[in-house]
Amino acid sequence: MQYLVSVIDDKSNPGSTDRRPAISAFNERLIAEGYWVFAGGLADTDAATVIDNRGEQAVFSDGPFVESKEYLAGVWVWEAPDLDVALKLAAEASKVCDRKVEVRPFR
């Protein structure tokens, strides 16, 4: 089963900034152990644009779809046999990137 692991950043309580070496090492392990599907960090929410083309013409608006002190900073996609495995990895992931993470299964 595949899980989306969202890295949650927090404007009022940010984690430490340079976690890249630790995250790279963790990613190597995910690959070696067969959990890795995909991962990527996201640019700041200032760079986001929301598009709504459900009406007559597309409306482009500046900024993320929701303004909050917490925002999505990056994602992993993992392949794991069940939630317990995903949660155990997620607990490590949160420590490694020094941020909260959310685990959600793909349908």
Partner 1 sequence: MSDVEEAITRAHHEEWARVVAAVTRRFGDLDIAEEAAAEAFATAVERWPADGVPPNPGAWLTTTANRKAIDRIRRENKRDDKHKEAQMVYEADPPEPVGAIDDDRLRLIFTCCHPALAMETRVALTLRMVGGLTVPEIARAFLVAESAMGQRITRAKAKIKAARIPYRVPAAEDLPARLTGVLAVLYLAFNEGYLATGPDTDPVRQDLTAEAIRLTRLIRALLPQDGEVAGLLALMLLTEARRPARISVSGELVALDEQDRGAWDTGLIAEGHRLVRERLAAAAAGVALGRYQILAAINAVHTSARDIRDTDWSQVLALYDQLIRLDTSPIIALNRAIAVAELDGPEAALAIVDRLAEALAGYHAYHATRADLLRRLGQSQQSRAAYDRAIDLAGNTGETAYLTRRRDQLQ
Where helices occur in 19-106 by DSSP H, the ranges are 20-32, 83-97
Q: Kindly state the number of chain residues that form the binding site for partner 1, as judged by CB under 8 A.
A: 9
Q: Scanning the structure block, which residue is given the tokens 């995910």?
A: 30
Q: Which x/- pattern over 72-91 shows residues binding partner 1 (rule: CB under 8 A)?
A: ----------xxx--x----
Could you say whether residue 95 binds partner 1 (CB under 8 A)? no
Could you say whether residue 47 binds partner 1 (CB under 8 A)? no
Q: How far apart are CA 27 and CA 93, in angstroms?
A: 9
User: What H or E segment, with its residue span, contains residue 66?
Assistant: none
Using the 8-state DSSP alphabet, how is residue 77 labeled? E
Could you say whether residue 1 binds partner 1 (CB under 8 A)? yes
> Which structure tokens are listed for 15?
């984690």
User: What H or E segment, with its residue span, contains residue 54?
Assistant: none
Which segment (19-27, 28-36, 39-47, 97-105) binds partner 1 by CB under 8 A?
Answer: 97-105
Q: Which residues bind partner 1 (CB under 8 A)?
A: 1, 82-84, 87, 103-105, 107
